[in-house]
Structure 1
Amino acid sequence: MSTEQSPEEQAESVGGRDERPGSRKLLALLFGVAVVALGVDVGSKVAVVANLEGEPPVRLVGGLVYFDVLRNPGAAFSLATGMTWVLALLAIVVVGVIVWLAPKLRSPGWAVGLGLVLGGACGNLADRLFRAPGPLQGHVVDFISVFAPWGGVWPVFNVADSCIVCGGVLVVLLSLFGRDYDGRVHRRNKQVAGKTS
């Protein structure tokens, strides 16, 4: 049995920390993506509330997309309506887990995926904390409706929802292809049962 350590394991065995420049770059990537996602989400919500709330839906791209401001007390795509405080606490947990996991990241793909999830979770959490009717009960601003206004074909969503879904899909795909957050790559070993030498 080989006792050779991978670069990641060698780094962790020295003082329990990895001080390679790459790990700092991945932290910067994760939090940079999160800040951009949060900024775009908050900026878009402020703009549509100021200009479109109470107005008829705005038709864009030949009717492929409509901007239609709705206040959502539930989760993404209007799920779990009435459980706003539970969703707020869940978002806080998600943010905490990602922040805890961040120093262990050794994969750029995972950094981007978790950055999108972190930015999206913080965007919707900000609505639940600071918008009416009150802390942990605030309604999330949704405004993107595809193919028809008022969510006639698909539930109305926002930039944060899109970031969470895209980040989650990226992380799942990386996992399916055997790429872990710590940089390890798992390959399927094909063994023939009962094979004798």
Structure 2
Amino acid sequence: MTATISDTIYQNLSQQIITGELSAGEKLRQDHIARTFDTSHVPVREALLRLEAHGLARHEPRRGMRVTALDPAEVREVIEMRVALETLALQQSVQNMSPVALDKIDRARIACDEAQTMPQWEALNRAFHRAILTPCGLPRLLHTIDDLHIASARHLFAHWRSKWVQQTDKDHAALVQALRRKDLSTAKGILTRHIRRAS
């Protein structure tokens, strides 16, 4: 599927919000965004509505669309929702996992381990998690998990950016081995521990 200008604007702005380049309360001005991307207001409005749907922006009366604040109280809820939904997706994934899917997962694991910066690592970490869950074949569930990953990513950048160091993720490696054995119980245990470490 070809990305639209609205997709491009959404991806650009969401990444800036996740990484903290656009701070909480900052106004998202349609005119300025339209000029930046050399487009009309229509795709800008579409992108802003998507940001709002993903909890990254909120329209405030007489103040316009602004970046939402990062609420530390939501972190525990997001983590527990991820545990519940990702282990549910994993249960279905294991049943449908092909050798091709396993190879894709392992490539995603290696790419994540080789990340040179935190923004690069965060995007590749999300790609790894998406790869292990995509075989579940449940698009609505995957969409909800994607939203939770966005919330988790904002927390990670806010609290861990200065402490991030490149390293091999042993949980990812152990998870891949469990998936190759189709050992669902071990895989779910590793995934649960791995997600909760993010808190």
Would the TM-score normalized by the shorter structure come out above 0.5?
no
Shorter-chain TM band: under 0.3
Which is helix-richer, 1 or 2?
2
TM-score by length of 1: 0.26
Larger radius of gyration: 1
